[in-house]
Structure 1
Amino acid sequence: MAGGRGTEGLGASELVLVGGALVVAVALVYRVSGWPYALAALVVGVLGGAAWFAVRTDRRVRAADHEWRAEDAVAAGRRTLDELDAMTGTQFEEHVADLCRRDGCTEVRRVGGAGDNGADVRGRMPDGRTMVVQCKRYAPKAAIPARDLRELRGAQVHFGADVAILVTTSRFTRQSTAFAVDNGIIAIHRDFLGLWNNGTRLPVLAALNGAGQGDRRHRERWKRTYDDR
Protein backbone atom coordinates (compact mmCIF):
# COMPACT_ATOMS: atom_id res chain seq x y z
CA MET A 1 0.00 0.00 0.00
CA ALA A 2 1.26 3.46 -0.83
CA GLY A 3 2.31 5.73 2.02
CA GLY A 4 0.01 8.42 3.33
CA ARG A 5 0.26 11.90 1.95
CA GLY A 6 0.91 14.95 4.06
CA THR A 7 -1.00 18.20 3.88
CA GLU A 8 0.13 21.78 3.85
CA GLY A 9 -0.69 24.08 6.73
CA LEU A 10 -2.08 27.57 6.41
CA GLY A 11 -0.86 29.58 3.46
CA ALA A 12 1.15 32.78 3.93
CA SER A 13 -1.83 34.96 3.01
CA GLU A 14 -3.99 33.20 5.61
CA LEU A 15 -1.37 33.67 8.33
CA VAL A 16 -1.04 37.37 7.49
CA LEU A 17 -4.82 37.75 7.63
CA VAL A 18 -5.13 36.01 11.00
CA GLY A 19 -2.17 37.89 12.47
CA GLY A 20 -3.42 41.22 11.20
CA ALA A 21 -6.87 40.66 12.64
CA LEU A 22 -5.35 39.76 16.03
CA VAL A 23 -3.18 42.89 16.09
CA VAL A 24 -6.13 45.11 15.22
CA ALA A 25 -8.28 43.50 17.90
CA VAL A 26 -5.62 43.91 20.61
CA ALA A 27 -5.01 47.52 19.58
CA LEU A 28 -8.69 48.34 19.86
CA VAL A 29 -8.97 46.72 23.28
CA TYR A 30 -5.87 48.58 24.50
CA ARG A 31 -7.21 51.91 23.23
CA VAL A 32 -10.46 51.39 25.09
CA SER A 33 -9.45 49.55 28.28
CA GLY A 34 -5.68 49.58 28.71
CA TRP A 35 -2.98 46.89 29.07
CA PRO A 36 -4.66 44.30 31.35
CA TYR A 37 -7.58 43.90 29.00
CA ALA A 38 -5.36 44.06 25.95
CA LEU A 39 -3.21 41.26 27.39
CA ALA A 40 -6.30 39.17 28.12
CA ALA A 41 -7.55 39.75 24.59
CA LEU A 42 -4.15 38.72 23.23
CA VAL A 43 -4.20 35.46 25.24
CA VAL A 44 -7.77 34.67 24.18
CA GLY A 45 -6.90 35.47 20.59
CA VAL A 46 -3.82 33.24 20.61
CA LEU A 47 -5.73 30.35 22.15
CA GLY A 48 -8.62 30.81 19.75
CA GLY A 49 -6.25 31.01 16.80
CA ALA A 50 -4.47 27.86 17.92
CA ALA A 51 -7.76 26.00 18.24
CA TRP A 52 -8.90 27.20 14.83
CA PHE A 53 -5.56 26.21 13.31
CA ALA A 54 -5.81 22.72 14.87
CA VAL A 55 -9.34 22.16 13.57
CA ARG A 56 -8.41 23.45 10.11
CA THR A 57 -5.31 21.25 9.94
CA ASP A 58 -7.25 18.21 11.15
CA ARG A 59 -9.82 18.70 8.41
CA ARG A 60 -7.11 18.99 5.79
CA VAL A 61 -5.34 15.91 7.05
CA ARG A 62 -8.58 13.92 7.00
CA ALA A 63 -9.39 15.10 3.48
CA ALA A 64 -5.91 14.22 2.23
CA ASP A 65 -6.06 10.84 3.97
CA HIS A 66 -9.41 10.06 2.33
CA GLU A 67 -8.05 11.07 -1.08
CA TRP A 68 -4.92 8.94 -0.96
CA ARG A 69 -6.82 5.97 0.42
CA ALA A 70 -9.27 6.19 -2.49
CA GLU A 71 -6.40 6.38 -4.97
CA ASP A 72 -4.65 3.51 -3.21
CA ALA A 73 -7.81 1.40 -3.49
CA VAL A 74 -7.89 2.02 -7.24
CA ALA A 75 -4.21 1.11 -7.55
CA ALA A 76 -4.75 -2.07 -5.53
CA GLY A 77 -7.57 -3.10 -7.87
CA ARG A 78 -5.46 -2.73 -10.98
CA ARG A 79 -4.66 -6.09 -12.48
CA THR A 80 -3.94 -6.98 -16.04
CA LEU A 81 -6.55 -9.00 -17.85
CA ASP A 82 -3.98 -11.78 -18.19
CA GLU A 83 -3.80 -11.94 -14.38
CA LEU A 84 -7.57 -12.25 -14.21
CA ASP A 85 -7.49 -15.03 -16.79
CA ALA A 86 -5.05 -16.93 -14.57
CA MET A 87 -7.27 -16.71 -11.47
CA THR A 88 -9.40 -19.52 -10.17
CA GLY A 89 -13.14 -19.02 -10.18
CA THR A 90 -13.12 -18.25 -6.45
CA GLN A 91 -10.28 -15.76 -6.80
CA PHE A 92 -12.12 -13.99 -9.59
CA GLU A 93 -15.26 -13.76 -7.49
CA GLU A 94 -13.25 -12.29 -4.59
CA HIS A 95 -11.67 -9.78 -6.97
CA VAL A 96 -15.06 -8.67 -8.27
CA ALA A 97 -16.28 -8.32 -4.69
CA ASP A 98 -13.25 -6.13 -3.89
CA LEU A 99 -13.98 -3.90 -6.90
CA CYS A 100 -17.56 -3.49 -5.68
CA ARG A 101 -16.33 -2.48 -2.22
CA ARG A 102 -13.85 -0.05 -3.74
CA ASP A 103 -16.67 1.72 -5.54
CA GLY A 104 -18.78 2.23 -2.43
CA CYS A 105 -20.94 -0.89 -2.44
CA THR A 106 -21.84 -2.11 1.03
CA GLU A 107 -22.62 -5.44 2.72
CA VAL A 108 -20.62 -7.10 -0.06
CA ARG A 109 -19.92 -10.79 0.39
CA ARG A 110 -18.92 -13.64 -1.86
CA VAL A 111 -21.55 -16.38 -1.78
CA GLY A 112 -20.54 -18.42 -4.83
CA GLY A 113 -20.26 -22.18 -4.57
CA ALA A 114 -22.48 -25.23 -4.46
CA GLY A 115 -26.11 -24.24 -4.05
CA ASP A 116 -25.48 -20.54 -4.65
CA ASN A 117 -28.76 -20.22 -6.60
CA GLY A 118 -27.04 -18.28 -9.37
CA ALA A 119 -25.33 -15.68 -7.18
CA ASP A 120 -21.57 -15.34 -6.70
CA VAL A 121 -21.56 -11.97 -4.95
CA ARG A 122 -24.32 -10.16 -3.08
CA GLY A 123 -24.52 -6.75 -1.48
CA ARG A 124 -25.82 -3.25 -1.98
CA MET A 125 -25.05 -0.67 -4.63
CA PRO A 126 -23.65 2.70 -3.45
CA ASP A 127 -27.19 4.11 -3.58
CA GLY A 128 -28.49 1.36 -1.28
CA ARG A 129 -30.21 -0.88 -3.84
CA THR A 130 -29.65 -4.59 -3.33
CA MET A 131 -27.58 -6.36 -5.97
CA VAL A 132 -26.77 -9.88 -7.09
CA VAL A 133 -23.62 -10.52 -9.15
CA GLN A 134 -22.76 -13.50 -11.32
CA CYS A 135 -19.08 -13.93 -12.27
CA LYS A 136 -18.07 -15.82 -15.42
CA ARG A 137 -14.31 -16.36 -15.78
CA TYR A 138 -14.46 -17.77 -19.28
CA ALA A 139 -11.70 -18.00 -21.89
CA PRO A 140 -11.32 -14.63 -23.67
CA LYS A 141 -12.48 -16.02 -27.02
CA ALA A 142 -15.67 -17.45 -25.49
CA ALA A 143 -19.00 -15.63 -25.47
CA ILE A 144 -21.73 -15.37 -22.86
CA PRO A 145 -24.94 -16.92 -24.24
CA ALA A 146 -28.38 -15.54 -23.52
CA ARG A 147 -29.18 -18.50 -21.26
CA ASP A 148 -26.60 -17.26 -18.72
CA LEU A 149 -28.44 -13.94 -18.59
CA ARG A 150 -31.77 -15.72 -18.16
CA GLU A 151 -30.32 -17.69 -15.24
CA LEU A 152 -29.10 -14.47 -13.65
CA ARG A 153 -32.53 -12.92 -14.12
CA GLY A 154 -33.96 -15.90 -12.27
CA ALA A 155 -31.43 -15.39 -9.45
CA GLN A 156 -32.43 -11.73 -9.25
CA VAL A 157 -36.05 -12.73 -8.79
CA HIS A 158 -35.13 -15.46 -6.30
CA PHE A 159 -33.18 -13.09 -4.07
CA GLY A 160 -35.50 -10.14 -4.64
CA ALA A 161 -32.52 -8.02 -5.74
CA ASP A 162 -32.97 -4.58 -7.27
CA VAL A 163 -29.93 -4.89 -9.55
CA ALA A 164 -28.39 -7.84 -11.40
CA ILE A 165 -24.81 -7.72 -12.74
CA LEU A 166 -22.93 -10.23 -14.86
CA VAL A 167 -19.14 -9.81 -14.97
CA THR A 168 -17.08 -11.80 -17.44
CA THR A 169 -13.55 -12.08 -18.77
CA SER A 170 -15.04 -12.74 -22.22
CA ARG A 171 -17.76 -11.01 -24.24
CA PHE A 172 -21.52 -11.16 -24.79
CA THR A 173 -23.34 -12.35 -27.90
CA ARG A 174 -25.74 -9.95 -29.58
CA GLN A 175 -28.66 -11.89 -28.18
CA SER A 176 -27.31 -11.88 -24.63
CA THR A 177 -26.51 -8.16 -24.85
CA ALA A 178 -30.05 -7.44 -26.02
CA PHE A 179 -31.48 -9.58 -23.21
CA ALA A 180 -29.35 -7.74 -20.64
CA VAL A 181 -30.40 -4.30 -21.85
CA ASP A 182 -34.08 -5.26 -22.14
CA ASN A 183 -34.11 -6.67 -18.60
CA GLY A 184 -31.98 -4.03 -16.91
CA ILE A 185 -29.07 -6.39 -16.25
CA ILE A 186 -25.66 -4.71 -16.11
CA ALA A 187 -23.38 -6.58 -18.52
CA ILE A 188 -19.67 -6.05 -17.81
CA HIS A 189 -17.69 -7.64 -20.64
CA ARG A 190 -13.92 -7.92 -21.00
CA ASP A 191 -13.42 -4.38 -22.30
CA PHE A 192 -15.46 -2.90 -19.45
CA LEU A 193 -13.69 -5.17 -16.95
CA GLY A 194 -10.36 -3.68 -18.04
CA LEU A 195 -11.74 -0.19 -17.41
CA TRP A 196 -13.18 -1.26 -14.06
CA ASN A 197 -9.81 -2.61 -12.96
CA ASN A 198 -8.17 0.69 -13.84
CA GLY A 199 -10.44 2.89 -11.78
CA THR A 200 -13.65 3.45 -13.75
CA ARG A 201 -16.48 3.31 -11.25
CA LEU A 202 -19.30 0.77 -11.38
CA PRO A 203 -22.08 3.40 -11.75
CA VAL A 204 -20.28 4.78 -14.82
CA LEU A 205 -20.12 1.34 -16.43
CA ALA A 206 -23.77 0.76 -15.57
CA ALA A 207 -24.70 3.92 -17.48
CA LEU A 208 -22.89 2.55 -20.57
CA ASN A 209 -24.67 -0.80 -20.42
CA GLY A 210 -24.98 -2.55 -23.78
CA ALA A 211 -22.09 -0.66 -25.38
CA GLY A 212 -18.32 -1.03 -25.64
CA GLN A 213 -17.84 -4.27 -27.55
CA GLY A 214 -17.01 -2.55 -30.81
CA ASP A 215 -17.99 -3.19 -34.41
CA ARG A 216 -17.40 -6.22 -36.63
CA ARG A 217 -13.73 -5.32 -37.19
CA HIS A 218 -13.18 -5.08 -33.46
CA ARG A 219 -14.71 -8.51 -32.96
CA GLU A 220 -12.52 -9.94 -35.72
CA ARG A 221 -9.39 -8.52 -34.10
CA TRP A 222 -10.60 -9.93 -30.77
CA LYS A 223 -10.96 -13.38 -32.31
CA ARG A 224 -7.51 -13.26 -33.93
CA THR A 225 -5.94 -12.12 -30.65
CA TYR A 226 -7.44 -14.93 -28.58
CA ASP A 227 -7.65 -17.76 -31.11
CA ASP A 228 -4.70 -19.56 -29.54
CA ARG A 229 -5.93 -19.24 -25.95
Structure 2
Amino acid sequence: MTMSERRTRPLSRGRRFDLRATAMSFALIAAALIAAGLAVRALAGVVQRRPVWGVVLLCVAVAAVLAHGRRRRRLSAARIARQAGEALEQATTTALDALDAPAPAPSAAPAPTGPYGEGALHTADAPGVPGVLDYDALSPEEFEEAIAALCVRDGCTGVRVVGGAGDLGADVVGLSPGGHRLVIQCKRYGDDNKVGSQDLQRFGGTCFTVHEADVALVVTTSDFTAPAREYAEQCGITCVDRGDLLAWSADPARRPWAAGTGGADA
Protein backbone atom coordinates (compact mmCIF):
# COMPACT_ATOMS: atom_id res chain seq x y z
CA MET A 1 0.00 0.00 0.00
CA THR A 2 1.44 3.24 -1.08
CA MET A 3 0.92 6.38 1.04
CA SER A 4 0.90 9.77 -0.64
CA GLU A 5 3.54 12.10 0.53
CA ARG A 6 2.12 15.17 2.26
CA ARG A 7 3.41 18.42 0.97
CA THR A 8 4.59 20.91 3.56
CA ARG A 9 4.73 24.69 3.02
CA PRO A 10 8.18 26.05 3.11
CA LEU A 11 8.92 28.24 6.09
CA SER A 12 8.84 31.85 5.13
CA ARG A 13 12.08 33.59 5.65
CA GLY A 14 11.73 36.52 8.05
CA ARG A 15 12.39 40.04 6.90
CA ARG A 16 15.87 41.26 7.49
CA PHE A 17 16.39 44.03 10.10
CA ASP A 18 16.80 47.36 8.34
CA LEU A 19 18.61 49.90 10.54
CA ARG A 20 17.99 52.79 8.18
CA ALA A 21 14.25 52.18 8.00
CA THR A 22 14.05 51.87 11.80
CA ALA A 23 15.93 55.14 12.30
CA MET A 24 13.69 56.91 9.83
CA SER A 25 10.63 55.59 11.65
CA PHE A 26 11.86 56.91 15.00
CA ALA A 27 12.71 60.26 13.39
CA LEU A 28 9.23 60.55 11.91
CA ILE A 29 7.64 59.65 15.27
CA ALA A 30 9.79 62.27 17.05
CA ALA A 31 8.89 64.90 14.45
CA ALA A 32 5.21 64.06 14.84
CA LEU A 33 5.44 64.37 18.63
CA ILE A 34 7.24 67.74 18.35
CA ALA A 35 4.65 69.02 15.89
CA ALA A 36 1.85 67.85 18.17
CA GLY A 37 3.45 69.58 21.16
CA LEU A 38 3.84 72.86 19.25
CA ALA A 39 0.25 72.63 18.08
CA VAL A 40 -1.00 72.06 21.64
CA ARG A 41 1.10 74.97 22.89
CA ALA A 42 -0.25 77.28 20.19
CA LEU A 43 -3.82 76.19 20.91
CA ALA A 44 -3.28 76.81 24.63
CA GLY A 45 -2.12 80.37 23.88
CA VAL A 46 -5.17 81.00 21.69
CA VAL A 47 -7.51 79.64 24.35
CA GLN A 48 -5.86 81.79 27.02
CA ARG A 49 -6.30 84.95 24.95
CA ARG A 50 -9.78 84.08 23.69
CA PRO A 51 -11.61 81.70 26.06
CA VAL A 52 -14.59 81.59 23.71
CA TRP A 53 -12.56 79.74 21.12
CA GLY A 54 -11.68 77.22 23.81
CA VAL A 55 -15.39 76.34 23.96
CA VAL A 56 -15.49 75.97 20.17
CA LEU A 57 -12.42 73.73 20.07
CA LEU A 58 -13.76 71.60 22.92
CA CYS A 59 -17.05 71.10 21.13
CA VAL A 60 -15.24 70.18 17.91
CA ALA A 61 -13.09 67.67 19.81
CA VAL A 62 -16.19 66.12 21.41
CA ALA A 63 -17.83 65.88 18.00
CA ALA A 64 -14.73 64.17 16.59
CA VAL A 65 -14.68 61.63 19.43
CA LEU A 66 -18.38 60.89 18.96
CA ALA A 67 -17.85 60.51 15.24
CA HIS A 68 -14.99 58.09 15.80
CA GLY A 69 -17.08 56.01 18.24
CA ARG A 70 -20.01 55.89 15.90
CA ARG A 71 -17.74 54.93 13.03
CA ARG A 72 -16.60 51.90 14.97
CA ARG A 73 -20.24 50.90 15.19
CA ARG A 74 -20.43 51.05 11.37
CA LEU A 75 -22.63 54.09 11.12
CA SER A 76 -22.84 55.77 7.79
CA ALA A 77 -20.43 58.57 6.93
CA ALA A 78 -23.31 60.88 6.13
CA ARG A 79 -24.79 60.50 9.60
CA ILE A 80 -21.43 61.15 11.25
CA ALA A 81 -20.92 64.29 9.16
CA ARG A 82 -24.42 65.49 10.04
CA GLN A 83 -23.85 65.02 13.77
CA ALA A 84 -20.46 66.71 13.64
CA GLY A 85 -21.99 69.64 11.74
CA GLU A 86 -24.76 69.98 14.31
CA ALA A 87 -22.24 69.99 17.16
CA LEU A 88 -20.11 72.59 15.38
CA GLU A 89 -23.15 74.76 14.66
CA GLN A 90 -24.20 74.61 18.31
CA ALA A 91 -20.67 75.52 19.43
CA THR A 92 -20.56 78.46 17.02
CA THR A 93 -23.92 79.71 18.29
CA THR A 94 -22.71 79.48 21.89
CA ALA A 95 -19.53 81.38 21.04
CA LEU A 96 -21.42 84.15 19.23
CA ASP A 97 -23.85 84.49 22.15
CA ALA A 98 -20.90 84.81 24.53
CA LEU A 99 -19.33 87.52 22.36
CA ASP A 100 -22.59 89.46 22.12
CA ALA A 101 -23.33 89.24 25.85
CA PRO A 102 -22.72 92.53 27.71
CA ALA A 103 -19.64 92.68 29.87
CA PRO A 104 -20.32 92.23 33.59
CA ALA A 105 -20.47 95.46 35.52
CA PRO A 106 -17.27 96.09 37.46
CA SER A 107 -17.58 95.61 41.18
CA ALA A 108 -17.44 98.71 43.27
CA ALA A 109 -13.87 99.41 44.30
CA PRO A 110 -13.16 100.39 47.89
CA ALA A 111 -12.59 104.04 48.60
CA PRO A 112 -8.93 104.92 48.00
CA THR A 113 -6.78 105.63 50.97
CA GLY A 114 -3.35 107.17 51.39
CA PRO A 115 -1.98 110.62 50.64
CA TYR A 116 -4.19 111.23 47.59
CA GLY A 117 -7.38 109.31 48.43
CA GLU A 118 -10.57 110.79 49.76
CA GLY A 119 -11.04 107.63 51.82
CA ALA A 120 -8.08 108.73 53.94
CA LEU A 121 -10.08 111.75 55.10
CA HIS A 122 -13.60 110.52 55.72
CA THR A 123 -13.60 106.95 57.02
CA ALA A 124 -14.79 107.64 60.58
CA ASP A 125 -16.11 110.38 62.83
CA ALA A 126 -14.06 112.07 65.49
CA PRO A 127 -15.94 112.87 68.71
CA GLY A 128 -18.13 115.89 68.13
CA VAL A 129 -16.76 116.54 64.62
CA PRO A 130 -18.77 114.73 61.93
CA GLY A 131 -16.97 113.58 58.79
CA VAL A 132 -13.47 113.75 60.33
CA LEU A 133 -11.09 110.80 60.47
CA ASP A 134 -10.58 109.08 63.83
CA TYR A 135 -6.85 109.77 64.11
CA ASP A 136 -6.51 107.70 67.29
CA ALA A 137 -7.24 104.56 65.28
CA LEU A 138 -4.34 105.19 62.87
CA SER A 139 -0.79 103.92 63.03
CA PRO A 140 2.00 106.55 62.91
CA GLU A 141 2.53 105.81 59.21
CA GLU A 142 -1.19 106.14 58.46
CA PHE A 143 -1.29 109.37 60.43
CA GLU A 144 1.46 110.81 58.20
CA GLU A 145 -0.53 109.82 55.11
CA ALA A 146 -3.67 111.43 56.54
CA ILE A 147 -1.84 114.72 57.12
CA ALA A 148 -0.48 114.59 53.58
CA ALA A 149 -4.04 114.02 52.33
CA LEU A 150 -5.23 117.14 54.16
CA CYS A 151 -2.49 119.16 52.47
CA VAL A 152 -3.49 117.83 49.05
CA ARG A 153 -7.15 118.54 49.77
CA ASP A 154 -6.35 122.16 50.57
CA GLY A 155 -4.41 122.87 47.39
CA CYS A 156 -0.82 121.94 48.24
CA THR A 157 1.32 120.52 45.45
CA GLY A 158 4.26 118.14 45.34
CA VAL A 159 3.16 116.59 48.62
CA ARG A 160 5.24 113.59 49.68
CA VAL A 161 5.42 111.42 52.77
CA VAL A 162 9.12 111.16 53.58
CA GLY A 163 8.99 109.95 57.19
CA GLY A 164 11.15 107.02 58.18
CA ALA A 165 14.69 106.18 59.15
CA GLY A 166 17.00 109.12 58.45
CA ASP A 167 14.19 111.60 57.77
CA LEU A 168 15.85 114.20 60.05
CA GLY A 169 12.51 115.24 61.50
CA ALA A 170 10.57 115.71 58.26
CA ASP A 171 7.55 113.45 57.77
CA VAL A 172 5.60 115.35 55.08
CA VAL A 173 6.90 117.93 52.62
CA GLY A 174 5.22 119.95 49.88
CA LEU A 175 4.39 123.41 48.56
CA SER A 176 1.52 125.51 49.87
CA PRO A 177 -0.92 127.10 47.40
CA GLY A 178 1.16 130.27 47.69
CA GLY A 179 4.35 128.44 46.76
CA HIS A 180 5.86 128.23 50.26
CA ARG A 181 7.81 125.10 51.12
CA LEU A 182 6.09 123.15 53.91
CA VAL A 183 7.95 120.79 56.23
CA ILE A 184 5.70 118.92 58.66
CA GLN A 185 6.55 116.63 61.54
CA CYS A 186 3.75 114.30 62.68
CA LYS A 187 3.37 113.09 66.26
CA ARG A 188 0.65 110.46 66.70
CA TYR A 189 0.62 110.58 70.51
CA GLY A 190 -1.95 109.61 73.11
CA ASP A 191 -3.70 112.14 75.33
CA ASP A 192 -1.31 111.46 78.20
CA ASN A 193 1.81 111.99 76.10
CA LYS A 194 2.43 115.61 75.18
CA VAL A 195 4.99 116.87 72.69
CA GLY A 196 7.90 118.24 74.72
CA SER A 197 10.53 120.88 74.14
CA GLN A 198 13.14 118.26 73.20
CA ASP A 199 10.96 117.14 70.29
CA LEU A 200 10.68 120.73 69.12
CA GLN A 201 14.41 121.36 69.51
CA ARG A 202 15.33 118.34 67.40
CA PHE A 203 12.91 119.41 64.69
CA GLY A 204 13.97 123.05 64.92
CA GLY A 205 17.59 122.07 64.28
CA THR A 206 16.81 120.59 60.84
CA CYS A 207 13.55 122.01 59.49
CA PHE A 208 15.02 125.33 58.31
CA THR A 209 18.72 124.59 57.79
CA VAL A 210 18.49 121.08 56.31
CA HIS A 211 14.99 120.94 54.77
CA GLU A 212 14.91 124.66 53.84
CA ALA A 213 11.37 125.12 55.12
CA ASP A 214 9.48 128.35 54.59
CA VAL A 215 6.84 127.08 57.00
CA ALA A 216 7.55 124.40 59.64
CA LEU A 217 4.68 122.65 61.39
CA VAL A 218 4.43 120.04 64.14
CA VAL A 219 1.06 118.27 64.06
CA THR A 220 -0.02 116.02 66.93
CA THR A 221 -3.07 114.13 68.12
CA SER A 222 -2.17 115.23 71.67
CA ASP A 223 -0.95 118.60 72.99
CA PHE A 224 2.27 120.54 73.59
CA THR A 225 3.96 121.33 76.85
CA ALA A 226 4.42 124.99 77.77
CA PRO A 227 8.22 124.90 77.17
CA ALA A 228 7.60 123.32 73.77
CA ARG A 229 5.20 126.07 72.75
CA GLU A 230 7.64 128.69 73.98
CA TYR A 231 10.49 127.23 71.94
CA ALA A 232 8.25 126.92 68.86
CA GLU A 233 7.27 130.57 69.12
CA GLN A 234 10.91 131.63 69.36
CA CYS A 235 11.93 129.56 66.31
CA GLY A 236 8.88 130.29 64.17
CA ILE A 237 7.46 126.74 64.25
CA THR A 238 3.67 126.39 64.07
CA CYS A 239 2.18 124.02 66.65
CA VAL A 240 -0.99 122.14 65.61
CA ASP A 241 -2.52 120.35 68.60
CA ARG A 242 -5.50 117.99 68.66
CA GLY A 243 -8.09 120.76 68.67
CA ASP A 244 -6.40 122.58 65.80
CA LEU A 245 -6.12 119.31 63.84
CA LEU A 246 -9.83 118.51 64.19
CA ALA A 247 -10.78 122.05 63.21
CA TRP A 248 -8.48 121.87 60.17
CA SER A 249 -9.91 118.48 59.16
CA ALA A 250 -13.48 119.78 59.35
CA ASP A 251 -12.84 123.14 57.69
CA PRO A 252 -10.38 123.59 54.77
CA ALA A 253 -10.26 127.30 55.57
CA ARG A 254 -8.39 126.50 58.80
CA ARG A 255 -5.09 125.94 57.01
CA PRO A 256 -2.41 125.84 59.71
CA TRP A 257 0.38 127.06 57.44
CA ALA A 258 -1.38 130.40 56.98
CA ALA A 259 -0.06 131.56 60.36
CA GLY A 260 3.52 130.97 59.21
CA THR A 261 3.06 132.96 56.02
CA GLY A 262 1.47 135.98 57.56
CA GLY A 263 -1.94 135.04 56.18
CA ALA A 264 -0.69 134.88 52.59
CA ASP A 265 -1.95 131.28 52.18
CA ALA A 266 -5.17 131.74 54.12
Q: Name the TM-score, length of structure 1 as normaliser.
A: 0.54
Q: 1:207 to 1:160 in 2, by over 3 A?
A: closer
Deviation digits for residues 39-95 of structure 1 (CA, Å, limit 9, x no counterpart): xxxxxxxxxxxxxxxxxxxxxxxxxxxxxxxxxx99973454472111011100000
Question: Matches of residues 15-164 of structure 1 in structure 2 within 5 Å?
Answer: 77-78=121-122, 79-81=124-126, 83-156=134-207, 157-164=209-216
User: Is the 8 Å Cα contact of residues 104 and 126 (structure 1) preserved in structure 2?
Assistant: yes
- Distance in 2 separating the partners of 1:119 and 1:192: 20
Question: Matches of residues 159-174 of structure 1 in structure 2 within 5 Å?
Answer: 159-174=211-226
Gaps (5+ residues) in structure 1?
1-72, 210-229
Q: 1:170 to 1:95 in 2, by over 3 A?
A: same
User: Is the 8 Å Cα contact of residues 143 and 188 (structure 2) preserved in structure 1?
Assistant: yes
User: Is the 8 Å Cα contact of residues 248 and 256 (structure 2) preserved in structure 1?
Assistant: no
Structure 1 residue 175: deviation in Å?
Answer: 1.0
1:142 aligns to what SS in structure 2?
A: coil
Partner of 2:58 in structure 1? none
User: Is the 8 Å Cα contact of residues 168 and 193 (structure 1) preserved in structure 2?
Assistant: yes
Structure with more relative contact order (C-alpha pairs < 8 Å, separation 6 or more): 1
User: Is the 8 Å Cα contact of residues 74 and 198 (structure 1) preserved in structure 2?
Assistant: no
User: Is the 8 Å Cα contact of residues 117 and 155 (structure 1) preserved in structure 2?
Assistant: yes
Question: How many residue pairs are counted as aligned between the two chains?
Answer: 137
Code of the aligned partner of 1:143: K
- Distance in 2 separating the partners of 1:166 and 1:190: 11
Partner of 1:188 in structure 2? 240
2:192 aligns to what SS in structure 1?
A: coil
Code of the aligned partner of 2:211: F
Give the fraction of aligned pairs with identical amino acids, expressed as a percent. Answer: 41
Partner of 1:32 in structure 2? none
Hey, which bits of structure 1, 4+ residues long, moved more than 6 A? 73-76
Q: 1:202 to 1:132 in 2, by over 3 A?
A: farther
Gaps (5+ residues) in structure 2?
1-116, 128-133, 262-266
Tell me the C-alpha RMSD between the 2 structures.
Answer: 2.5
Structure 1 residue 204: deviation in Å?
Answer: 5.5
Q: Which structure has greater helix proportion?
A: 1
Q: Name the TM-score, length of structure 2 as normaliser.
A: 0.47
2:251 aligns to what SS in structure 1?
A: coil
Structure 1 residue 208: deviation in Å?
Answer: 9.4
Structure 1 residue 200: deviation in Å?
Answer: 3.9
- Distance in 2 separating the partners of 1:97 and 1:86: 17
1:143 aligns to what SS in structure 2?
A: coil
User: Is the 8 Å Cα contact of residues 132 and 161 (structure 1) preserved in structure 2?
Assistant: yes
- Distance in 1 separating the partners of 2:189 and 2:210: 24
2:239 aligns to what SS in structure 1?
A: strand
- Distance in 2 separating the partners of 1:142 and 1:206: 27
